[in-house]
Amino acid sequence: MSSEVYRASVPSNIAFLKYWGKSDPAKKWPTNNSLSMTLDKCRTSTSCFLDFSLSDFEIFYDGKKIKEGDFFQKIRKHLCFLKSTFDFPGFLRVETSNNFPTASGVASSASGFAALTLASVAAWTSSSTFLELSQEGFSIQKLSSLSRLGSGSACRSLLGGFVLWEKGPSPDEQRVKKISCDWPLMDILIVLKQGEKKLSSTEAHVRVPSSPLFSLRMSQIEEKQKDFEEALKEKNIKKLGALLEQEALEIHAVIMTAEKPFSYLLDETVAFLSWMRQLRQKGLAQVYFTLDAGSNVHVICEEREVSNFLSFLKRDFPNLAYIKDNVGKGPLLTSSKA
């Protein structure tokens, strides 16, 4: 029996061009390509230990054993899928935690499923490095596809920097690729509200194609992807910012006009966005927003704007919590004796 513990530390990511709708839900085949920035500080750490004395998976979250509930079921389902697909022997003891508050607006399912996939496959194949994993048939591309089946956006968290998730011509030809760009952008997440979002992204993906705005979105999406890639290549913050804000508002407009409409936006969100616009119009800070399926705001800017922006934030919203992050290099894998 292996006595090694395999530990994955995987960052979350924030999408610039959003995954919003699926053509094939079972294979997590998105309706469009998406592009994201991998974060650096907001991470999930997951360690896995292969224990042949176990008759089922043992799962610990933040040091506490969990045996039921949605979160437990999702983890167990993904582990069972990996075990049966690759005929892996034995069960794992899994310990996982996030270093950021869950439901704060950082996508914990992205870092969570990528970390779970990476650590569990490492434990089952006794691989301590990415090279060993790839020699066992688990390249980053493969691990990314497996992570995607847990949560779509997780596939982008296994690469660092700026990442494109290409839908490809069929569900089995999807791939992720790194965009060559070394721009040290920041993401300051403004936590306007903590707590579970009221509509899961899984359900939102099902609803969005019913919006009359959806086909318009699809007709422009390739052009938009090109524009995003150009803005990154040119390191043009003004161009990137305009695209980010348009895209964020567009995905919210789409879900707000779906057959079963829903709004994630709070009055506080709308007020915060207009405060940011005013800062910009007055020439006080060059900061731009993006939004995920939630009410919290991600402020994207260049490094030199941060202290300036934070001083206005503290002046005008002294009680707001925020998480300061930046573009990161991607996942880490280590192993040690149990």
Least distance CB 163 / ligand PMV (angstroms):
11
Closer to ligand PMV by CB, 250 or 268: give it.
250
Q: What are phi and psi of 160, to 5 degrees?
A: -90, 175
Nearer Cβ to ligand PMV, position 109 or 296?
109
Contact between residue 43 and residue 36 where contact means Cβ atoms under 8 Å apart: no
**Residue closer to ligand PMV (CB basis): 106 or 123:** 106
Q: How far is the CB of 113 from ligand PMV (least distance, A)?
A: 8
Of the pair 15, 186, the CB lying nearest ligand PMV is at 15
Cα(36)–Cα(17) distance, rounded to whole angstroms?
Answer: 7
CA distance 176 to 165: 4
The count of residues in the chain is: 338
Q: How far is the CB of 265 from ligand PMV (least distance, A)?
A: 13
- Of 107 and 133, which CB lies nearer to ligand PMV in the complex structure? 107
The pair of three-digit structure tokens given for residue 104, joined into one six-digit string = 């704060």
CB-wise, 203 or 302, nearer to ligand PMV?
A: 203
Which are the contacts of 226, defined by CB distance < 8 A and separation ≥ 6?
none
Residue 137: both structure tokens together: 């048939």
Shortest CB 212 distance to ligand PMV, Å: 20
- Taking the complex as a whole, the smallest distance from the CB of residue 156 to ligand PMV amounts, in Å, to 8
**Residue 137 CA, distance from chain mean position:** 25
8 A C-beta contact, residue 300 and residue 13? no
In the complex, the smallest distance separating the C-beta of residue 152 from ligand PMV, rounded to whole angstroms, is: 4
Taking the complex as a whole, how short is the minimal distance between the CB of residue 151 and ligand PMV, in angstroms? 4
Q: Which one, 5 or 155, has the nearer CB to ligand PMV?
A: 155
Distance, CA of 35 to chain centre: 11
Closer to ligand PMV at the Cβ: 102 or 308?
102
Token pair 């496959």 is at which residue?
121
Nearest distance from residue 234's CB to ligand PMV, in Å?
A: 23
The residues binding ligand PMV (CB under 6 A) are 15, 18-19, 34, 107, 109, 151-153, 201-202, 292-293
